[in-house]
Structure 1
Amino acid sequence: MIAVSLSRGHVELLQFTRDKTALVFTFLFPAMLLLLFGTIFGDDYTDSGVSASQVFTASMIAYGVLNTAFVTMGSGLALDREDGTLKRLRGTPMPVSAYLIGKALLVLALSLAESALLILMGVLVFDMPLPDAQHWLTFSWIFLLSVIACSLLGVAVSALVRNARNAGGILNVPVVALQFISGVFIQPMSQLPDWLITVASIFPVRWMAQGFRYVFLPEAAQNQELDGSWQLGTVALVLGAWCVIGLLLCLRTFRWNNSER
């Protein structure tokens, strides 16, 4: 099982890296947005003395994970379902779990690379300080829970995609919407209407961004958060809950081909 999963993950990674267009846009789009937002608002400083560019860097890691995990997983499954890859795999000894783990390994590798690129840009371009060892441990569990939750939700939402050509449009609608209401593009979140804050608090992206800000920003920056604190317990609870919800949705919605209901 483990060997089959690793082998499938290797195949997925090779297939992805051969698609130069997907490779470039997956990595460069979040980095380009960070460069734009960081440059435009870089001279602004919060009340805690943290530059806006550093706040955007920390928050954009959440966008990088969501964009990479959710969209890559969802569009990849939709394409494999449409071109018959899943149907052919169903006739082989490979279990569906090995296939999904292979996809998850691809998403994990891409998310790590994306996060590293954004962090590197934040350090080199916007003078964002690197955290200490304790904060890196916190980064690890926030990152893993974020990748798992977003990947599982990508699997679930892929069931709505009937045509792989439309996958990008369908999957990017919730991605873009959640970025604007979850404190990634708009800081502080208190600028948003109360009802939008309530909606954002239901979904994982707000808590992903808040957790990453805890990791990379100084303690004084928590005054800019809605409740004046990092709420790491709530971050863990919400992300863990969405991992469970995502798994249940996957079990409910996974299909081998578009003809299944």
Structure 2
Amino acid sequence: MTAPASPPVAPPSWTSMTLNRYVVELKEFLRSREQMVFIFAFPMMLLVLFGSVFGGAVLDGTDVTFAQYFLAGMVASGILNTGFQSLAMSIAIDRDEDVLKRIHATPLPATSYFAAKILQVLSVTVVQVVILIAIGVALYDVALPSDAAHWGTFAWVFLLGTAGSTTLGIAMSSLLRNAKAGSAIITPIVLFLQFTSGVFLIFTQVPAFLQTVASIFPLRWLAQGMRSVFLPDEFKYAEAAGSWQLPLTALILAVWVVVGLVLAVRTFRWTRHDDN
């Protein structure tokens, strides 16, 4: 007598594969001391350092302290660092170590891999932003918005900024010839954007031609969008255009999401550049 046939096992769903990969990505991040220091400790150190040195200074013509101004910039910069710099370098390392090649040879859909990466970046960025805001409130008495409209602005600026930074990070990972070149290429780019986009310096104090250059890139608009959330509304008159320019901010960030997505799709490589 033959044994009854076992019922067919259903293949794992896209959602389950994505969530499993997300857990793997999160564990790999938590095990990387270098990434943990860069993503969490470095921005915290900068916020405490700049806040302690300049925190009590009131910006000319306003009641805004430098610590409050700097918090908005650090939140914006943290989004860029996590989604662009850290992600680009981590993917480049995985490519150099043939991790991407092995993943590509498995049944895991490419969309699941990228979705897991995006979820990991989003989770880490949320934690980082919460920590920065908590430090600003606890150490420098930064006032948080109390109305839904400002938090609604925070939500869409955060999501568009994270989406753009992530797609650009994926695209940049393929432009790096190898992981060792990552820090030498990406770090100067990020530092240039931070100094010209109103993160470390007051944006209107940056030379006019550098303001124009910075306005091409997303960090300038991401930082201004965050200032519209964390700074009083009257501060908009101290901005370069005399307003928060939120519609233009949304448009430019959305354009960079599309640009990053197109570049990521067209340039992404699963194998090293020296592989045939």
- TM-score interval w.r.t. the shorter chain? over 0.9
C-alpha separation in 1, matches of 2:204 and 2:85: 28
Q: Which residue of 2 aligns with 1:246?
A: 260
Task: Tell me if 1:7 matches 2:20.
Answer: yes
- Which one of the candidate residues 139, 161, 165 is aligned to 2:180? 165
Task: Tell me if 1:155 matches 2:170.
Answer: yes
The TM-score normalised by the length of structure 1 is 0.96
Q: Which residue of 2 aligns with 1:181?
A: 196
C-alpha separation in 1, matches of 2:79 and 2:184: 18
Task: Tell me if 1:31 matches 2:44.
Answer: yes
Say if 2:175 and 2:267, in contact at 8 Å, map to a contact too: no
Q: Deviations over 1:2-55 (max 9, x none)?
A: 221111111000111012232123201111111111111112112121111110
Say if 1:64 and 1:115, in contact at 8 Å, map to a contact too: yes
C-alpha separation in 2, matches of 1:30 and 1:224: 25
C-alpha separation in 2, matches of 1:134 and 1:194: 31
Shift of 1:58: 1.2
Q: Which runs of 5+ in 1 are unaligned?
A: none
- Which one of the candidate residues 187, 190, 195 is aligned to 2:204? 190
Q: Which runs of 5+ in 2 are unaligned?
A: 1-13
Larger radius of gyration: 2
Q: Deviations over 1:91-117 (max 9, x none)?
A: 111121111111111110111111111
C-alpha separation in 2, matches of 1:122 and 1:163: 37
Q: Which residue of 1 aligns with 2:213?
A: 199
C-alpha separation in 2, matches of 1:115 and 1:82: 30
Task: Tell me if 1:233 matches 2:254.
Answer: no
The TM-score normalised by the length of structure 2 is 0.91
Shift of 1:151: 0.7
Q: Which residue of 1 aligns with 2:83?
A: 69
2:24 maps to a residue whose letter is V
State the 4+ residue runs in structure 1 displaced beyond 4 angstroms.
Answer: none
C-alpha separation in 1, matches of 2:16 and 2:251: 32
2:108 match: secondary structure = coil
Cα RMSD of the aligned pairs, angstroms, is: 1.3
Say if 1:59 and 1:212, in contact at 8 Å, map to a contact too: yes
Q: Deviations over 1:31-84 (max 9, x none)?
A: 111111111111211212111111001111011111111122101110111111
Say if 1:72 and 1:107, in contact at 8 Å, map to a contact too: no
C-alpha separation in 1, matches of 2:244 and 2:212: 17
1:26 maps to a residue whose letter is I
Say if 2:157 and 2:250, in contact at 8 Å, map to a contact too: yes
